[in-house]
Amino acid sequence: MVRQAPPSVVTSWLRQGLRNRMCPLCRVAHKADREYIWHFYDEASNDMGVVDEVRRAYGFCAEHMEMLRRIDVEDMKTTLSISVLLADTFAGIVEQLQSLGPGSRFAPARCPACANREDHLRRNADYLLDLLATSPGYREEFEASPGLCFPHFELAWEQARTRSDRELLLAVQRDASRSLLGELREHVRKHDDKYRHEPKGPERDSWQRAIFLTTGWPPPKQSAAEPEEGP
């Protein structure tokens, strides 16, 4: 099987994730979310297609609605834009309810921001596997990384096209999990009265990294209200 290096323009989010020592697909998820919510916030008035999707979904899911709320209410300190956006959304919702009868099935579409995120993730899982298979530099960086969070490990595992893709994913995931286990045990050991005098080391936040590895890395600290900078 001939693997081609993905064009660098499509791997910038992944490379940022590797550089920041986090699951590179979590980085992709955060970037895709921000891009989508910002597009909705800024452009919904010119792009009724995006409003239509939200109408058919009867709003965003809780996570994406919260991102929208934070942009307007917390960061812009206004409630005007979110009210306009929700009014546009509800205009469609009211109409949809008009045509829903007691015998019809109520079937909201998926949250369009979630669908957008999944689409980005699927494509990027392929780019990641191609990047690792064709670039020894990034492969080394990945080998020394804290691994993929398990939901994204599952995705990459399912999308792996060769045995060596899976071997690499597995080796990295085993190393990452094993070394975390060592650190967690060390952290627990130092809580024992006998060892309490020992200085705490890098293992002190291992419990937090164990949460990241299981559920995914959190978005960067900066507020959701800052539009994405750079690539």
Amino acid at position 80, single letter: L
- 122 versus 191: smaller Cβ distance to Zn ion: 122
Residue type, 125: A
Give the residues lining the site for Zn ion (CB under 5 A): 23, 25-26, 61, 64, 111, 113-114, 149, 152, 216
In angstroms and rounded to an integer, the radius of gyration of the C-alpha atoms of the chain is 22
Residue 31 or residue 152: which is nearer to Zn ion going by CB?
Answer: 152
Q: How far is the CB of 66 from Zn ion (least distance, A)?
A: 10
- Token pair belonging to 96: 């949809």
Considering beta carbons, is residue 80 or 107 the nearer one to Zn ion?
Answer: 107
Q: Which is nearer to Zn ion, 49 or 103 (CB)?
A: 49
Query: Least distance (Å) from Zn ion to the CB of residue 150?
Result: 8
Q: How far is the CB of 135 from Zn ion (least distance, A)?
A: 20
CA angle 219, 15, 9 (to 5 degrees): 110
Shortest distance (Å) from residue 180 CB to Zn ion: 15
The two structure tokens encoding residue 110: 């998926």
State how far the alpha carbon of 96 is from the alpha carbons of 52, 91, 103, 106, 107, in Å: 11, 9, 14, 10, 11
Contacts of residue 230, Cβ cutoff 8 Å, sequence gap at least 6: none
